[in-house]
Structure 1
Amino acid sequence: MTGRPKGHEESTDNDEDVQRVEMELPERREKYGGKEESGSTSTSLKGMLSSYHMQNARIPTFKGESRGEYWDYMNSFKRYVGTFTAPDSEKLQMLIHSCSSNIRNVLNPFTRMKSSEGYRKALSILKDRYGDEDAHIEELLMNLINGPPVKITNGEGLQDLADELQACICSFESMD
């Protein structure tokens, strides 16, 4: 099992769930008198499973307190929600519900638009307000520069500095 939250197994688990349900469908239809639906059953089942797994995602709450928080939040959001095949309207709802109330108030009007346009614009407004990459890089570098001085004999302080440098590198690499 990876470090993902419960409900976020690899896509093979989703495929196995879909295959199991598809195998049971003929029996269920016969038993309960169901009819074959038009369209791809596999596609609709994948969509339902995707929505289910997306709704069980444990996304941190975005409060809008810093650019670093924004980048951490967006990486989590894209990892757990952005990759699912769920409709944009559901993704927009997940985005809104994973934000603090002051940010929800800004994003709620986008639910009145077409779902794909509303979702895209909601992501865009968050990026415009909090996602300035250059300012975030500057913040990270200033934190390093203005941090406490570390003596070469201070093993714990050097380890903390190395950890902070690693966090900066990860932040730089995660920006798209």
Structure 2
Amino acid sequence: MGMEVIASGLKEMIAAMRLPQTQLPIFEGNSRREYWEFIRAFEQHIRMAAVPEEYKLQTLMQACAMPVRNTLQTCNYLDPREGYEKAMAILENRYGDRHQFVREIVEGILEGSLIKGEDEGGLKKFVNKLGSCILSLETIGRLQELNTVRSVDVLSRRLPERALMRYEDETYAHNKRYG
């Protein structure tokens, strides 16, 4: 064996030992949101690590629930690099449709009933859901899908009357100040 092969193997072993001992979420394959959250976590902890593709493939397989894992099983028979890339491609093709994901996020926040003035819990839930929606869209570079006149109008109409009045006052003052 050449010294380069040994050095490369040692680097991979050290990188694997340095990986954080965080638990990856299990990907069940239930929604696009779940897929994107899973992929984000996987990329942060495994995909970008300097470890062998075989390790990445095995970690990916272990982090998938059985129905999803079964669809990836044939990737184990390929060269580790090819198998890993094929498994990632299969997951993205089946669950990673960005356009559909954006549609689900935006429709999910726009649909909903009016929040009553005394429903503090409902307002907090709405704000949390809106924050999650914004963060998800920012992460994939598609915030503009929510930042439309129609979306802002629909969202503002769901607010309790006092909050809606305050929003309208602030909008008026902003438009007067900045045009």
Instruction: State the TM-score, normalized to the length of structure 2.
Output: 0.69
Which aligned pairs between 1:1-176 and structure 2 lie closer than 5 A? Answer: 38-39=3-4, 44-54=9-19, 56-175=21-140
Q: Contact 1:54 / 1:80 at 8 angstroms: preserved in 2?
A: yes
Q: Contact 2:47 / 2:56 at 8 angstroms: preserved in 1?
A: yes
Q: Contact 1:59 / 1:98 at 8 angstroms: preserved in 2?
A: yes
Q: CA deviation at 1:104?
A: 0.9
Equivalent pairs, count: 140
Query: What CA distance in whole angstroms lies between the structure 2 residues aligned with 1:41 and 1:158?
Result: 59
Query: What CA distance in whole angstroms lies between the structure 2 residues aligned with 1:40 and 1:67?
Result: 40
Q: Bigger radius of gyration, 1 or 2? A: 2
Q: Contact 1:55 / 1:94 at 8 angstroms: preserved in 2?
A: no
Structure 1: 4+ residue segments shifted above 6 A? none
- Gaps in structure 2 of 5+ consecutive residues: 142-179
Q: RMSD in angstroms over aligned alpha carbons?
A: 2.3
**Further displaced range: 43-52 or 138-147:** 43-52
Q: CA deviation at 1:55?
A: 8.1
**Further displaced range: 48-57 or 115-124:** 48-57
Query: What CA distance in whole angstroms lies between the structure 2 residues aligned with 1:116 and 1:57?
Result: 24
Query: What CA distance in whole angstroms lies between the structure 2 residues aligned with 1:51 and 1:148?
Result: 49
Q: Contact 1:59 / 1:77 at 8 angstroms: preserved in 2?
A: yes
Q: Contact 2:20 / 2:45 at 8 angstroms: preserved in 1?
A: no
Q: CA deviation at 1:47?
A: 1.8
What's 2:161 paired with? Answer: none
Query: What CA distance in whole angstroms lies between the structure 1 residues aligned with 2:114 and 2:10?
Result: 57
**Further displaced range: 126-135 or 156-165:** 156-165
Q: AA paired with 1:169?
A: I
Q: Contact 2:12 / 2:50 at 8 angstroms: preserved in 1?
A: yes
SS in 2 for 1:84: coil
Q: AA paired with 1:112?
A: Y
Q: Contact 1:75 / 1:174 at 8 angstroms: preserved in 2?
A: no
